[in-house]
Amino acid sequence: MLTLCLALLFFTPSQVLAQTTAVTQLDALVQQWLALEQQQHQLQQDWQLRKQSLQQGISLLQAEQKQLQQVLERNSKQHDAVDEKRAALLAQQQQLELQQQQGGRQISALLQQVRVMQPQLPPPLQHIWQQELASLPDNADASVQLQRSLFLLTKLAEFQQRLSLDEMTLETADGKPVRVKQLYLGASQAWFSSADGSYSGLGYPGSTGWSWQFDSSVDGSEVLQAIAILEKRAQAELISLPMQLSAEAAPSARKETTP
């Protein structure tokens, strides 16, 4: 104890002050180091929290990116499907337009055939043909042309399947007008007779049109009897009438003059 006290007595005031200053500086450095350690620890904690937040954000962005990619893929597939459907519809439309054009040409050809047939038809049908074709507009569309053509062909088919009656005035070889009744067997054969049976003959289609031929071999009374049976003014019985198969076989064919 005496030795320590003696030792302290040997320190000068300047030495004591210097030692105090060094202790103070050392303490300050320690405090700074502790503060830095604390800041570093705080920064690490903040970084961990920030890192977790960033990782969560990245996970959310990745999930959103995946969803967007799926949406884009679905949209791409839907777009491709729409394009394919549009292409298919366009091809179908072009095919329908082509078929419509072809159909229009076929209908026009059919109508032309109907027009060509008109002169070769029996006069009652010619009259119907003339009225229907005359009322058909030049710019009629294909559907109207088809409807009119089918109507006329239906009339021809009906006429072809039955016996028909008509009446008109014919001219004899010497130009005498004679009123006659006519009996049509379909659209290819007819017989006629005047009311007293004195004038009789045949009717048939030819290359230049329907023709009438006065023929004394045709029994006018037989024609009138057949007409009476068809009109139900007489009882049914067998009637024999000659047939004329073509106009070329009839050198004295005459056409009608007055319906």
Q: What is the model's pLDDT at position 13? A: 59
Do 140 and 222 fall within a single domain?
no
The answer as to whether 63 is a domain residue is no
pTM: 0.58
Do 123 and 196 fall within a single domain?
no
The answer as to whether 167 is a domain residue is yes
Answer positive or negative: Cα dihedral of 198, 259, 157, 159: negative
Q: CA-CA distance, 42 to 32, in Å (whole number)? A: 15
The answer as to whether 72 is a domain residue is no
Q: What is the model's pLDDT at position 14? A: 62
What domain count does the chain have?
A: 2
Q: What is the model's pLDDT at position 258? A: 39
Q: What is the model's pLDDT at position 91? A: 83
Residue pair 127/89 in contact by the 8 Å Cβ criterion: no
With a CB cutoff of 8 Å and minimum separation 6, the contacts of 214 are 170, 172, 173, 199, 200, 201, 252, 254
Residues of the chain with pLDDT under 70: 1-19, 245-259
The answer as to whether 254 is a domain residue is yes
Show the domain range for 236: 162-258
Q: What is the model's pLDDT at position 8? A: 41
Per-residue pLDDT reduced to its tens digit, 158-171: 999 999 999 999 99
Q: CA-CA distance, 219 to 201, in Å (whole number)? A: 8
The answer as to whether 86 is a domain residue is no
